[in-house]
Amino acid sequence: MKLHKILFGSFITLLSQICIGQSFTFIALGDMPYSIPADYERYEKLINAINKAKPSFSIFVGDRITLLR
């Protein structure tokens, strides 16, 4: 249910930007092959790069499942 609210909010944001003619940027990112904990630094660099780009919003389109070994 929470995901639906997030997607709806993102859609409303997108629609409002289109209606008033302003441009916007967004970033969509998905799953990467994970090698925990070795990839923590790589993921932090990715998040820092996204934050530096200052998109209007970002969407994570992957799952949140981590297999523990």
CA–CA separation, 34 vs 54, rounded Å? 25
Note the pLDDT of residue 1.
Answer: 58
14 CB neighbour count, 10 Å cutoff: 14
Which helix (H) or strand (E) element contains residue 58? strand 57-60
Domain ranges of the chain: 2-60
For residue 30, the model assigns a pLDDT of 81
C-alpha–C-alpha distance, residues 50 and 36, integer Å: 21
pTM: 0.57
Q: What is the CA radius of gyration of the chain?
A: 15
pLDDT at 2: 76
Report pLDDT for 64. 64
Per residue of the chain (69 residues), give pLDDT as tens.
577 777 788 778 777 777 776 677 889 988 776 777 888 888 899 999 999 999 988 888 877 666 555
